[in-house]
């Protein structure tokens, strides 16, 4: 057969003449030194190349390490096997999540605080939800964050164009409100000095400081948001780590929160789902924009427009995690990491450091006053072959601290403890 000759009216220019006309989103130019954790990974690899025999232990990124509990993993195996059968196969599901899962999430965590299953949107994780809700709010919005804070709130605000340029002297972005959280104020901002903004990101228990807010503090925060007409985006990714029974586990325990708050949460640190990907966001029907329209309608629109529902396999796992057996297993897993946190916390306390967190959160926040945290990070990596996270990577007020994560195999945590004692014991 003869090749078909197609005549083309457009002559493609050679590579050297191609000039793309699409302008780069200038906000990307404002971002600093890449995202924190890839930078840590780069330094870790460089250290490993320099010391090929070093057995590096990571207390850094905060990724989970232990296997998914059995009944939860089995539910996902069954769901996956079912996909190979006519009866078990399912295609697209509801973008908001399976009704049974929304109901189970509600009855485990929210019914007692007045929330309803239709207010819970199941997703592929909390980080993704933060990106989507930023898209929902648009770029004409002002933002406040805790300082230090989970970097995603800041970087997504920068990408959206909600901030000004990075200022080298203050180590912060223009037009972004930093709510300083340090030992001096018990890691809770002095709200009398905080500017009113449209959005307030608040992570509790906090990543990275490990601080957990009291009921009174959260009441103050909700009153502050209500007074200013702000929307509080409450990140409860570590709520299950709260050990003290009188500390609130959801912002909706605070009366009036339903009119000014949304809450995002995740199975990542609850059930070892960092790789499985399953989370949720709660948007109360009572939460309204300035024009009186319900936020839930627009969030629903975002989820149905740019998200197509969480994996049916992951959702089967989530559902199993909320059944009695799975719930017990999930809490055992959390208790295991909590013990790791207690071991690390005690080690740093015994070594004489100023230590925060680790009691109601899987993170320990260790002070090295007067020392730049990237230097401390480098020193710990060099001396102990241990990766931590430099506090300054979480914001200017994180300077002088490093974060140690309690996510790790027990033998690695114990080995890390020995190395810390050996290298820092004589301080
Ligand atoms: N929020 C906080 C405070 C986190 O620390 C993390 C993960 O480290 C997330 C959200 C992201 O969770 P997910 O894995 O569900 O995207």
Query: What is d(CA 344, CA 364) in angstroms, rounded to the nearest whole number?
Result: 7
Q: Is the Cβ atom of 125 under 6 angstroms away from ligand 1?
A: yes
Q: Is the Cβ atom of 62 under 6 angstroms away from ligand 1?
A: yes
Q: Is the Cβ atom of 64 under 6 angstroms away from ligand 1?
A: no
Report residue 208 as tokens: 């990275």
The three-class DSSP label of residue 166 is strand
CB neighbour list of residue 21: distance below 8 Å, 6 or more residues apart: none
Average pLDDT over residues 7-35: 88
The pick from 60, 263, 266, 278 for probing ligand 1's pocket by mutation, whose C-beta has the most ligand atoms within 8 angstroms, reads: 266
Q: What is the pLDDT of residues 113-160, one digit of tens each?
A: 999 999 999 999 999 999 999 999 999 999 999 999 999 999 999 999
Q: What is the pLDDT of residues 166-221, one digit of tens each?
A: 999 999 999 999 999 999 999 999 999 999 999 999 999 999 999 999 999 999 99
Average pLDDT over residues 344-351: 98
Query: Residue 273 carries which DSSP code?
Result: -
pLDDT of residue 290: 98
Report residue 238 as tokens: 């570590």
For the chain, which residues make up each domain, given as ranges?
34-66+327-424, 70-325
pLDDT higher than 80, residue 427 = no
Q: What is the pLDDT of residues 300-318, one digit of tens each?
A: 999 999 999 999 999 999 9
Q: Is the Cβ atom of 279 under 6 angstroms away from ligand 1?
A: yes
Q: Is the Cβ atom of 237 under 6 angstroms away from ligand 1?
A: yes
pLDDT of residue 5: 65
Atom 12 in ligand 1: residue holding the nearest Cα: 126
pLDDT of residue 293: 98
Q: Is the Cβ atom of 126 under 6 angstroms away from ligand 1?
A: yes
- Average pLDDT of the chain to the nearest whole number: 96
Query: For residue 278, which atom of ligand 1 is closest to its CA?
Result: 15
Query: What is d(CA 76, CA 89) in angstroms, rounded to the nearest whole number?
Result: 13
CB neighbour list of residue 64: distance below 8 Å, 6 or more residues apart: 268, 269, 272, 273, 274, 337, 407
CA 170 – ligand 1 centroid, Å = 26
- What's the complex ipTM? 0.99
pLDDT of residue 36: 79
The pick from 126, 132, 208 for probing ligand 1's pocket by mutation, whose C-beta has the most ligand atoms within 8 angstroms, reads: 126
Burial class (CB in 10 A: 0-12, 13-18, 19+), 38: exposed
Q: Is the Cβ atom of 127 under 6 angstroms away from ligand 1?
A: yes
State which fold the 70-325 domain adopts: 3.40.640
CA 223 – ligand 1 centroid, Å = 26
pLDDT higher than 90, residue 7 = no
pLDDT of residue 328: 98
Query: What is d(CA 68, CA 330) in angstroms, rounded to the nearest whole number?
Result: 8
* Per-residue pLDDT band at 402 (split at 50, 70, 90): very high
State which fold the 34-66+327-424 domain adopts: 3.90.1150
pLDDT of residue 189: 98
Report residue 171 as tokens: 């180590």
pLDDT of residue 228: 98
CA 271 – ligand 1 centroid, Å = 13
Percent of the chain with pLDDT over 70: 97
Query: Residue 58 carries which DSSP code?
Result: E
pLDDT higher than 70, residue 35 = no
CB neighbour list of residue 199: distance below 8 Å, 6 or more residues apart: 137, 141, 142, 143, 144, 230, 231, 232, 233
Query: What is d(CA 93, CA 102) in angstroms, rounded to the nearest whole number?
Result: 13
* Per-residue pLDDT band at 37 (split at 50, 70, 90): confident
pLDDT of residue 1: 57
Q: Is 227 left (phi over 0), alpha (psi -120 to 50) or beta?
A: alpha
pLDDT higher than 90, residue 61 = no
pLDDT higher than 70, residue 2 = no
């Amino acid at each position: 057969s003869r090749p078909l000759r197609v005549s083309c009216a457009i002559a493609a220019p050679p590579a050297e003449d191609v000039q793309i006309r699409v302008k780069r989103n200038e906000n990307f130019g404002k971002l600093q030194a890449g995202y924190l954790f890839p930078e840590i990974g780069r330094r870790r690899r460089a250290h490993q190349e320099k010391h090929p025999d070093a057995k590096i232990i990571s207390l850094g990124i905060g990724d989970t390490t232990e296997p998914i509990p059995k009944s939860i993993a089995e539910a996902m195996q069954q769901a996956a096997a079912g996909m190979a059968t006519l009866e078990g196969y399912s295609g697209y599901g509801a973008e908001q999540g399976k009704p049974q899962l929304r109901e189970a999430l509600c009855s485990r965590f929210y019914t007692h605080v007045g929330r309803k299953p239709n207010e819970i949107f199941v997703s592929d994780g909390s980080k993704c939800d933060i990106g989507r809700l930023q898209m929902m709010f648009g770029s004409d919005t002002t933002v406040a964050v805790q300082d230090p804070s989970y970097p995603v709130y800041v970087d997504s605000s920068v990408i959206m164009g909600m901030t000004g340029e990075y200022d080298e002297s203050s180590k912060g972005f223009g037009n972004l409100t930093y709510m300083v959280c340090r030992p001096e104020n018990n890691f809770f901002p002095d709200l009398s000095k905080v500017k009113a903004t449209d959005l307030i990101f608040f992570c509790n228990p906090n990543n990275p400081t490990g601080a957990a807010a009291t009921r009174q503090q959260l009441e103050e925060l909700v009153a502050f948001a209500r007074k200013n007409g702000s929307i509080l985006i409450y990140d409860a990714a570590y709520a299950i780590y709260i050990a003290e029974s009188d500390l609130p586990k959801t912002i909706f325990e605070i009366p009036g929160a339903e009119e000014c708050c949304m809450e995002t949460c995740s199975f990542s640190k609850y059930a070892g789902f960092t790789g499985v990907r399953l989370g949720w966001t709660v948007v109360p029907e009572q939460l309204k924009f300035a024009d009186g329209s319900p936020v839930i309608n627009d969030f629903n629109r975002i989820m149905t427009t740019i998200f197509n529902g969480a994996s049916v396999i992951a959702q089967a796992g989530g559902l199993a995690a909320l059944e009695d057996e799975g719930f017990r297993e999930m809490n055992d897993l959390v208790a295991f990491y909590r013990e790791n946190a207690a071991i690390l916390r005690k080690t740093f306390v015994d070594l004489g450091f100023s230590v925060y967190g680790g009691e109601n959160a899987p993170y320990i926040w260790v002070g090295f006053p007067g020392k730049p945290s990237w230097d401390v990070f480098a020193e710990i990596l060099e001396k102990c072959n241990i990766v931590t996270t430099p506090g300054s990577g979480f914001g200017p007020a994180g300077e002088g601290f490093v974060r140690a994560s309690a996510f790790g195999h027990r033998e690695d945590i114990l080995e890390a403890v020995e190395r810390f004692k050996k290298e820092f014991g004589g301080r």
